[in-house]
């Protein structure tokens, strides 16, 4: 190796320090900026709070991990939401750590660090990261599964197999999309005679037993609630009448969206000076592992859409790019000099802070372009007004609020009594609601009055509703000239 290459001049301890620096930057700034620039919590966070306050084993869209963690963050951190933003970044940093440790098993210290820092340019790890939801949680869990699966198959370590079982169970209870990682893992065990020895070792079966024990309560709950979460997952992907072109268009569109998300990382990579390459030092095990576990989930999703013609949401790709940094470095093998490494770090820091500045500026400036984002929604003022009105009318805590999950969720979260949310006035998706108790204790019904009135079916179902004649007006949390939010309100009096 040339004497100007990175390894002789920068030690492993130095790369560790750089990792800690970037992990600290991610934790601090991507927690602070959303906390400062947003007047309300993100949409998915509010949905998670609505679910999590009920502590169910499942919900209408996802299993329970996202909801429970969001509620825990709110219970500890309060209604400001700062700890929810921190939870997002903790998940991101855990992902970085696991990817770094995995990369270190295959690459030299500098290459492993570069493989991780490339992820800071991916949309899912920056602009999308304040939205604490199932996708963000999956980032850490997928990386942890891959890290311990690498050791489990290679060494048959019982501790590694136990870790794979635990993190796989958590991943499945976060989002069913985890099966897209499990499929390549299973194929990886089958592809080679050396890997197939796992089937003769107790570690794999202990792993499976742990996984089954962790997911079984949810699936029992699911069978008792009309398989609501599975039905939602099928509905979101199912294309009832796929045309022949859909089988090509849908996977192609999704694939291009995911590759586009990786473009900033490729730009950062180019600053290394990629024309000088080193000889590959990857072992056959590592090559197979990266092929199946690094690229396999991405190809599995494309194959699923190709076969079924199913629509794929762009944000479903969040965990799929987790190992793309390792793949790029291992495939291209740039010769890393100290000068090139310095250029790369400058590029990473520049893009990191530019994206951070964009997050702050766009959130502030969007209302001046006429955009009504959730960041400026007057949820706190709405909750205060509605709960005070209820208290003045009926002199008792508000126990139920009914309506679309965003508006009703805001009122529930920011109201001191934390009422239960009757989402979309639908008892099937609001599995925790006892309508008999709600009719007894009374409720507030709310809706977006600018989009119409309370549905006629709801009026018929609840004939004792007292509808407030004029919508309540709430200005958005901005100095931009936006029309006030019109809130329709009706009261179901306690009996």
Q: pLDDT tens for residues 153-192?
A: 999 999 999 999 999 999 999 999 999 999 999 999 999 8
* pLDDT at site 10: 60
| 33 close to 27: Cβ distance less than 8 angstroms | no
Give the three-state DSSP class for 173.
Answer: coil
Residue 199, both tokens: 């089937």
Polymer length of the chain: 495
Helices and strands (DSSP H and E) totals, the chain: 21, 6
- Positive or negative torsion for Cα 34, 38, 44, 47: positive
Q: What is the C-alpha to C-alpha distance for residues 256 and 261, in angstroms, rounded to an integer?
A: 9
Judge whether residue 5 has pLDDT over 70: no
Report the distance separating Cα 491 and Cα 403, nearest Å. 12
**In the predicted model, is pLDDT for residue 8 greater than 50?**
no
Pull the structure tokens for residue 455: 């549905």
More confident residue, 384 or 245: 384
Q: Mean pLDDT throughout 416-437?
A: 95
Distance of CA 161 to the CA centre of its chain: 25
At 200 the pLDDT is 87
Domain boundaries, the chain: 6-364, 377-492
Q: Where does the pLDDT of residue 9 fall: very low under 50, low under 70, confident under 90, or very high at 90 and above?
A: low
pLDDT for 236 equals: 78
Per-residue pLDDT of 293-315, as tens digits, reads: 999 999 999 999 999 888 888 88
Q: Is the pLDDT of residue 7 over 80?
A: no
Share above pLDDT 90 across residues of the chain, in percent, rounded to a whole number: 84
How many CB atoms sit inside 10 A of residue 140's CB? 25
**Which residue in this structure is represented by tokens 């694939």?**
255
Q: Which among 99, 85, 107, 68 has a CA at the least distance from the CA of 28? A: 85
Helix (H, G, I), strand (E, B) or coil at 2: coil
Alpha helices in 175-262 (DSSP H): 179-190, 202-223, 228-237, 246-261
52-85 tens-digit pLDDT: 999 999 999 999 999 999 999 999 999 999 999 9
CB pairs under 8 A, 24+ apart, for 24-27? 25/352, 26/89, 26/92, 26/93, 26/96, 26/120, 26/125, 27/86, 27/89, 27/90, 27/93
Is the pLDDT reported for residue 416 higher than 50?
yes
* pLDDT higher than 90, residue 323: yes
Sign of CA dihedral 445, 447, 467, 397: positive
Question: Given this model, what pLDDT does residue 44 score?
Answer: 95
Mean pLDDT of the chain: 93
Q: Residue 237 has what pLDDT?
A: 75
Summarised one tens digit per residue, pLDDT across range 362-400 is 999 999 998 889 999 999 999 999 999 999 999 999 999
pLDDT of residue 312: 87
Q: What is the pLDDT of residue 119?
A: 97
| End-to-end Cα distance, the chain | 83
């Amino acid at each position: 190796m040339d004497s100007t290459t990175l390894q002789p001049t920068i030690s492993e301890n130095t790369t560790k320090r750089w990792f800690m620096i970037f992990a600290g930057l991610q934790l601090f700034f991507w927690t602070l900026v959303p906390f400062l620039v947003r007047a309300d919590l993100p949409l998915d966070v509010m949905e998670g709070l609505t679910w999590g306050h009920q502590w169910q084993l499942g919900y209408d869209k996802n299993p329970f991990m996202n909801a429970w963690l969001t509620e825990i963050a709110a219970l500890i951190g309060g209604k400001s939401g700062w700890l929810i933003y921190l939870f997002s970044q903790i998940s991101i940093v855990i992902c970085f750590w696991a990817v770094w440790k995995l990369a270190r098993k295959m690459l030299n210290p500098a290459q492993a660090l570069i493989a991780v820092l490339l992820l800071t340019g991916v949309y899912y790890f920056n602009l999308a990261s304040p939205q604490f939801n199932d996708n963000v949680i999956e980032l850490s869990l997928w990386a942890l599964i891959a890290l311990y699966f690498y050791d489990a198959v290679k060494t048959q370590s019982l501790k590694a197999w136990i870790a794979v079982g635990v993190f796989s169970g958590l991943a499945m209870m976060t989002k069913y999309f985890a099966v897209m990682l499990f499929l390549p893992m299973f194929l990886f065990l089958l592809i080679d005679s050396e890997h197939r020895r796992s089937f003769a070792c107790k570690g794999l079966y202990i792993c499976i037993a742990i996984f089954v024990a962790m997911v079984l309560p949810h699936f029992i709950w699911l069978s008792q609630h009309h398989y609501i979460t599975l039905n939602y997952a099928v509905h979101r992907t199912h294309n009832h009448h796929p045309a022949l072109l859909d089988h090509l268009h849908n996977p192609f569109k999704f694939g291009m969206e995911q590759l586009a998300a990786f473009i900033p990382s490729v730009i950062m990579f180019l600053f290394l000076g990629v024309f000088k390459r080193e000889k590959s030092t990857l072992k056959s095990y590592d090559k197979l592992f990266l092929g199946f576990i690094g690229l396999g989930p991405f190809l599995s999703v494309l194959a699923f859409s190709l076969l079924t013609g199913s629509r794929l949401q762009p944000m479903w790709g969040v965990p799929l790019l987790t190992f793309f940094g390792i793949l790029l470095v291992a495939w291209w093998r740039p010769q890393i000099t100290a000068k090139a490494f310095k250029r790369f770090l400058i590029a990473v820091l520049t893009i990191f802070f530019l994206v951070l500045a964009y997050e702050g500026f766009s959130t502030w400036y969007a209302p001046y372009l006429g955009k009504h984002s959730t960041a400026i929604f007057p949820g706190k003022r709405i909750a205060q007004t509605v709960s005070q009105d209820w208290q003045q009318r009926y002199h008792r805590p508000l126990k139920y609020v009914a309506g679309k999950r965003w508006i009703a969720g805001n009122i529930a979260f920011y109201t001191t009594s934390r009422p239960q949310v009757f989402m979309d006035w639908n008892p099937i998706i609001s599995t925790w609601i006892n309508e008999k108790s709600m009719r007894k204790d009374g409720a507030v019904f709310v809706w977006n009055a600018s989009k119409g009135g309370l549905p006629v079916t709801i009026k018929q179902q609840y004939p004792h509703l007292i509808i407030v004649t004029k919508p309540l007006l709430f200005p958005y949390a901005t100095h931009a000239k936006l029309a006030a939010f019109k809130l329709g309100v009706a009261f179901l009096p306690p009996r």
